[in-house]
Amino acid sequence: METPGCENLQLVSFHSTSKGLIGECGRRGGYMELHNIDPYVQTQLYKLASSGLCSGVAGQVMTSLMVTPPAPTDESYDLFQKEESDIFESLKRRANSLVKGLNDIDGMTCTPAEGAMYAFPKVELPAKAFDEASAHDQTPDTLYALTLLEETGICVVPASGFGQKEGRVGFRTTFLPPEDELNSAIVEFKRHHEMFCEKYA
């Protein structure tokens, strides 16, 4: 049944096993749903999608499990509901913990993570860090990300790769690691940032 007022709404949606609630990173599988899309356009999209590689068997099985969870009458239903709830609550805790931890670092600001498994903090860097990055033909956030990796083993993605606002420096990181590892990483983020800023002060 259509939502009133949306009878003619055209909608394309995507979902995947690695980016959804179950967060099975590395399990490549998912689907695209087309709603109220012109049949000719659907045919062309189907041809385009069919010409590419499809998920392996494991990804297809994961997708099938994702879209057909246990029914209330199934023996595994209660366990599934508990595990799904536990995962969701843990993701909320980890998201809040990471964002709070990053915001507690002088020179970092991070908005709450809503709808994705990533945090995207803004980082204030000393002027000499910009000079150092320029001398190595790098963006400042690439320099920052590389030193973070070298110093702590934490791998983040420089925000410059996402078309951010001119002059903004930052990175993208995830809150998917287990809670104990994430809490250790927050300590390392702080240690690295202080060391980096002191080095380029």
131-166 b/e (C-beta count within 10 Å ≥ 16 → b): ebbeeeebbbbbbbbbbbeeebebebbbbbeeebee
Number of Cβ within 10 Å of residue 46's Cβ equals 12
Question: Going residue by residue through the chain (201 aa), what tens digit of pLDDT does each one get?
Answer: 567 888 888 999 888 887 776 666 677 888 888 989 999 999 998 888 877 767 788 888 888 888 899 999 999 999 999 998 998 899 899 999 999 999 999 999 999 988 778 999 999 999 999 999 999 999 999 999 999 999 999 999 999 988 888 889 999 999 988 899 999 999 999 999 999 999 999
Cβ-based neighbour number of residue 185 at 10 Å = 18
**CA 189/CA 96 separation, integer angstroms:** 15
Note whether 97 and 182 are within 8 A (CB): yes
Q: Can you give the pTM of this predicted structure?
A: 0.78
Alpha-carbon gap, residue 189 to 144, rounded angstroms? 11
